[in-house]
Amino acid sequence: MPELLSVKNLKIEATSYPPGEPPKVVTLVEGVSFDVQKGKVLGLIGESGAGKSTIGLSALAYGRGGARITGGEVLLNGRDILKLDRSGINTVRGAHVCYVAQSAAAAFNPAHKLGDQVIEASLRHGLMSREEAKKRALYLFRVLGLPNPETFGDRYPHQVSGGQLQRAMTAMALCPNPELIVFDEPTTALDVTTQIDVLAAIKHAIEETHTAALYITHDLAVVAQISDDIMVLRHGKTVEYGTTKQVIEAPKEDYTRALVSVRQAKRDEATDQSGTLLKIERVHAGYANGFKVLHDVSMHLPKGQTLAIVGESGSGKSTLARVITGLLPPSEGRITFDGKELPKALKGRTNDELRRVQMIYQMADTAMNPRQTVRDIIGRPLSFYFSMHGAKKTERVKELLDQIEMGPRFLDRYPAELSGGQKQRVAIARALAAKPELILCDEPTSALDPLVAEGILNLLLRLQEETAVSYVFITHDIAIVRAIADSVAVMHRGRLVRFGPKSKVLSPPFDDYTDLLLKSVPEMEIGWLEKVLKTRRMESAGN
């Protein structure tokens, strides 16, 4: 069988303009080669900066933001599309190869109806008449499971939900009957329960239409469900390239092995339920404009243990953290810390009460003052709470840096000079500096690459063993819950759905929402998607 797409020895460069320095050329991708056969799916996987999107766009001979393809060949049906002129490339783009972006919300033009945008490429390339194109769009809307497919195309992008937009984008890519579609992290921005629907819709649609695809993602478990082959990338180079079965079940490279096993960690829960540190009782909270976010939420956390609060966006889990810190005083209910009721508002709390509860944020970038050095960032709680100064303070900062496995050479660095994982570690050190009894972790790993995230989780676990600190860990990721939690609270639309020890919460019998949530988390197992869909279909048939 001839190759549909054959990429040979690809090299992509870009010019970067660091402030205050002469521009320099950086290599984004080097020596990457792969083939895609008709109707097959190749998964491109890697961390941020691995060059996977850049490679995907090269199939459309497109360089984003100043990236230039400077070497190699991109053969589409044996013809090198890099050698085509502008009008030649335009006959390929949108007709033979189509693109699905990560953020459909930004990629759709807000000024036009969805239907018009979906059929535009087919019409402009003269592939079908308006009637035919509309018919095909309708068919695709149905295949992708969009609501009211007949009238869906009459709506504007802002009138439909994020998951629907992502499916509409897939319809837009499939409409001209292309031979190849490039999916660029199409489900990354979605909630897990939405992600699985979109994933299933995409898989179903490309199978139905026999379209080949490049599927780009950072999530190996997702790509395992949809691709025939997988290429693992790192720093713009190929790490491993093989069939999905081989890469998932028998990875050859250490890096791939680490990626495969990254989400497998599990921990037994602590059984000791005595000595409650934090108790949340019947808390209601809302914003000044009258919008109520939390309804009657109660939970508690024993000393030295970890409580994971799980939920999707809009579940109120971050709001609960704001309530605990005092940033958002609850309208009803009370919060008890170490046997004493905490004043509701931040202003009413003493410095010692503030010291005992510290917080770690999702975005370490914005959580640290970019104009302060690591020394200042970690040192401030020391001088603020413990009046530590001079050499003593420096000594302690160095100790803390050792504790987060970073060392004294980072003392005078600014946050901008640190990697994402290092920043999060400094944020942890800042929290530790206050010698807290409770640390609130608001999705501290979700912006990080999987291996880096695992390092942070292990660090948090080790610190808990060393200092007996308790964590409230807010997350949307069930795998993290399995890895670190002692007790679990599941939240949905501002209400507590389920609370208890991890072993109880994560085992049947389930309520509907927890069931849906647990089944939506992709697992590193080929055929998992089909299995879940089968049980789901049975459920909907039973309803």
Residues in 515-534 that interact with other proteins by CB under 8 A: none
Q: If we measure between CA atoms, which residue out of 359, 380, 357, 358 comes closest to residue 369? A: 380
Residue 512 interacts with other proteins (CB under 8 A)? Answer: no
Amino acid in position 99: Y
Tell me whether residue 78 or residue 370 sits nearer to other proteins (CB atom): 370
CA 471 to chain CA centroid, nearest Å: 22
User: What phi, psi does 18 have (nearest 5°)?
Assistant: -65, 140
**Which of 73, 204, 237, 384: binder of other proteins (CB under 8 A)?**
384
Cα four-point dihedral sign 489, 495, 497, 499: positive
Q: Pick one of 64, 130, 334, 392: the residue that binds other proteins (CB under 8 A).
A: 64
DSSP state, 175?
T
Q: For 261-317, give the DSSP string.
A: HTT----PPP----SEEEEEEEEEEE-TTS-EEEEEEEEEEETT-EEEEE--TTSSH
359 near other proteins, rule: CB under 8 A: yes
Give least dist CB 301 to other proteins, A: 19
- List the one residue from 106, 258, 345, 538 that touches other proteins (CB under 8 A): 106
With binding defined as CB under 8 A, does residue 25 bind other proteins?
Answer: no
Angle at 146 between CA 142 and CA 148, to 5 degrees: 85
Q: 286 with 293: CB under 8 angstroms?
A: yes
Which span sits near other proteins by CB under 8 A: 3-11, 131-139, 350-358, 470-478? 350-358
Q: Which of 2, 19, 339, 542 binds other proteins (CB under 8 A)?
A: 19
Dist. CA 70–CA 61, nearest whole Å: 11
- Report the residue from 12, 53, 81, 93 that binds other proteins according to the rule CB under 8 A: 93
For residue 474, how far is the Cα from the chain centroid?
14
Nearer to other proteins, 113 or 267 (CB): 113
- The verdict on 109 binding other proteins (CB under 8 A) reads yes
Q: How many CA atoms lie within 13 A of 335 on its CB side?
A: 26
Candidates 107-115, 212-220, 505-513, 535-543: pick the segment binding other proteins (CB under 8 A). 107-115
For the chain, give the number of residues: 543
Residue 99 near other proteins by CB under 8 A: yes
Binder of other proteins out of 9, 68, 79, 90 (CB under 8 A): 90
Answer yes or no whether residue 496 interacts with other proteins by CB under 8 A. Answer: no
Contact between 370 and other proteins by CB under 8 A: the answer reads: yes
Helices 528-542 and 192-209 pack at an angle, to 10 degrees, of 100
Cα–Cα dist 99/180, whole Å = 9
CA distance 114 to 116: 6
Find the shortest distance in angstroms from Cβ 362 to other proteins. 8
Residues of this chain, 227-256, that bind other proteins according to CB under 8 A: none
Residues 6+ away with beta carbon under 8 Å from 129: none
Per CB under 8 A, contacts with other proteins among 278-307 are 287-289, 291, 293
Number of residues that bind other proteins (CB under 8 A): 79
DSSP 3-state of 155: coil
- Closest contact distance (angstroms) between CB of 376 and other proteins is 9
Greatest C-alpha distance within the chain: 78
Residue 334 lies near other proteins (rule: CB under 8 A): no
Indicate the residue among 241 and 473 with the shorter CB distance to other proteins: 473
Q: How far is the CB of 287 from other proteins (least distance, A)?
A: 5
Distance CA 214, CA 122 (A): 21
- Cβ 465 to other proteins shortest distance, Å: 26
Choose, by CB under 8 A, the member of 28, 36, 92, 146 that binds other proteins. 92
367, 374, 441, 518: which one binds other proteins (CB under 8 A): 367
Touching other proteins, residues 397-436 (CB under 8 A): 416, 430, 434
**Cis before 330? omega within 30:** no
Which one, 107 or 461, has the nearer CB to other proteins?
107
Range list of H helices, 408-489? 420-433, 450-467, 478-484
Q: Report the run of H or E that residue 516 belongs to, with start and end.
A: helix 512-520
**Looking at 84, 105, 461, 526, which residue binds other proteins (CB under 8 A)?**
105
Looking only at residues 116 through 155 of this chain, which bind other proteins when binding is defined by CB under 8 A?
120-121, 124-125
Least Å from the CB of residue 126 to other proteins:
11
Q: Does 487 bind other proteins (CB under 8 A)?
A: no
Q: Does 365 bind other proteins (CB under 8 A)?
A: yes
